[in-house]
Chain A
Amino acid sequence: GQQVMQIPQYQHVQEGEDFTTYCNSSTTLSNIQWYKQRPGGHPVFLIQLVKSGEVKKQKRLTFQFGEAKKNSSLHITATQTTDVGTYFCAGPTNAGKSTFGDGTTLTVKP
């Protein structure tokens, strides 16, 4: 079935370093969403991308949607300890459901 793959599974960085997570779909997506889950918490919506090649920024976070609408990335510039958590991408399946990637867990060493 339709899958959304995320890499890497884990990323350890020193505070101040940059971080990127990638999301790849086996099929073209009508949109893609990103969520953040803090340790022990629940997923919280960050952003949705809809257009081919779209780039959106939220302070130090940059989100991109690929030209073919089959991949996406989240880049964090100069990580802080508050960025710790697991970042998920999610896309709609042909059946109208949401499918989530397995997430990238970011740890930041002060």
Chain B
Amino acid sequence: NAGVTQTPKFQVLKTGQSMTLQCAQDMNHEYMSWYRQDPGMGLRLIHYSVGAGITDQGEVPNGYNVSRSTTEDFPLRLLSAAPSQTSVYFCASSKGIAASSYNEQFFGPGTRLTVL
């Protein structure tokens, strides 16, 4: 099993450009999440999904869109990149929701994004 994979690993964008960060998992997990990590600020939840066709907002959703057409894939779209979106982005998946007994989150290797 590859676990959780993310592409690209690094990306530089200009302000106003759009792009999609890819995330895929091969563990048949229902629950998937996107986090951003800024220095000294831990992990902040952007969007999450409890299953195919279902998505919801996290703490910092503005400027990002997600969709979940399959169990495996959960892409994150930046609509119009801004310097404030410079960050490291992690995708994670788990078997169950946060309050369940099966909520160990498996993280991808991350995408390091710089917006100029």
* A interface with B by C-beta (< 8 Å): 1, 6, 9, 30-31, 33, 35, 41-45, 48, 50, 88, 90-93, 96-103
Contact = CB atoms under 8 A, between A and B. Distances in A.
B101 interface: yes
Nearest to B50: A96
B41 A102 contact: yes
Contacts of A41: 109
Interface in B83-101: 90, 92, 97-99, 101
Contacts of B43: 43, 88, 90, 100
B103 A33 contact: yes
B15 to A, nearest CB: 26
Nearest to B102: A48
Chain B at the A interface: SS class: loop
Contact of B105 (A6, A45, A101, A102): A45
B103 A102 contact: no
Interface of B: 33, 35, 40-45, 48, 50, 56, 58-59, 90, 92, 97-99, 101, 103-110
Contact of A100 (B42, B103, B110): B42
B99 A96 contact: yes
A27 B10 CA distance: 37
Contacts of A1: 59
Contacts of A96: 50, 97-99
A103 B92 CA distance: 17
B110 A50 contact: no
Given A43-B90, A88-B42, A102-B42, A97 B48 contact: yes
A58 B104 CA distance: 17
Contacts of B40: 9, 102
Contacts of B44: 100
Interface centre among A1, A9, A102 (most CB of B within 10 A): A102
Given A33-B103, A92-B99, A42 B108 contact: yes
A97 B104 contact: no
Contacts of A100: 35, 42-44
